């Protein structure tokens, strides 16, 4: 995918990733720590995680197309390198969501869920959710610097704008 209605697809798709990764991570952690939230949110978290996993490589491919179109620079290369790792942070979100589905379904069916499994799911949710939050920030920050890095200091140094 290269463009959507004449606009580079990466520029549009990246907004989905920037919203869905933190939303998925936070709701996953909440669902892992709070059973009442899990009962209400587990299927939403599952859908968000699945969409995020599906769109991450599409966004990355669109970014690679844009990188080749614009030409490389150290800042763009750093952003591309970090962006290529994002799949390793979103797949674990989906896997931990699957573990929480098992916990949820067992609880809903009145089957006992071992405390160790519930604690393991919570610990894993915190780890993978936190890691995904940090990585999406790092990828986005490097992308912002690649696009705006040279312009931002000049804009701040400008006295009042009309």
158 pLDDT higher than 50: no
Q: 82 lies in a domain? A: yes
How many domains are contained in the chain?
1
CA–CA distance, 132 with 153 (Å, rounded to integer): 29
CA–CA distance, 141 with 71 (Å, rounded to integer): 19
Q: 151 lies in a domain? A: no
- Report the pLDDT averaged over residues 128-145: 94
Q: 20 lies in a domain? A: yes
Q: 2 lies in a domain? A: no
CA-closest candidate to residue 101, choices 121, 115, 120: 121
CA-closest candidate to residue 137, choices 74, 101, 85, 65: 85
Q: Which residues constitute the domain of residue 55?
A: 8-146
Q: 152 lies in a domain? A: no
Q: 95 lies in a domain? A: yes
Q: What is the pTM of this model?
A: 0.84
pLDDT of residue 147: 83
Q: 158 lies in a domain? A: no
More confident residue, 146 or 17: 17
Per-residue pLDDT of 21-71, as tens digits, reads 999 999 999 999 999 999 999 999 999 999 999 999 999 998 888 888 887
Q: 13 lies in a domain? A: yes
Average pLDDT over the chain reads: 88
């Amino acid at each position: 995918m290269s463009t959507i209605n004449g606009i580079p697809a990466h520029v549009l798709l990246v907004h989905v990733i920037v919203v869905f990764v933190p939303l998925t991570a936070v709701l996953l952690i909440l669902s892992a720590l709070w059973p009442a939230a899990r009962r209400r949110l587990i299927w939403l978290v599952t859908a968000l995680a699945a969409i995020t996993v599906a769109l991450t490589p599409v966004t990355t491919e669109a970014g690679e197309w844009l990188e080749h179109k614009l030409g490389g620079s150290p800042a763009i290369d750093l952003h591309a390198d970090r962006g290529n790792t994002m799949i390793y942070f979103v797949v674990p979100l989906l896997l931990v969501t699957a573990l929480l589905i098992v916990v949820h379904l067992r609880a809903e069916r009145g089957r006992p869920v071992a405390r160790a499994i519930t604690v393991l799911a919570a610990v894993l949710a915190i780890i993978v959710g936190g890691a995904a939050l940090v990585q999406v920030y790092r990828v986005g920050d490097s992308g912002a610097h690649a696009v705006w890095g040279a312009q931002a200091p000049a804009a701040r140094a400008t006295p009042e704008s009309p």
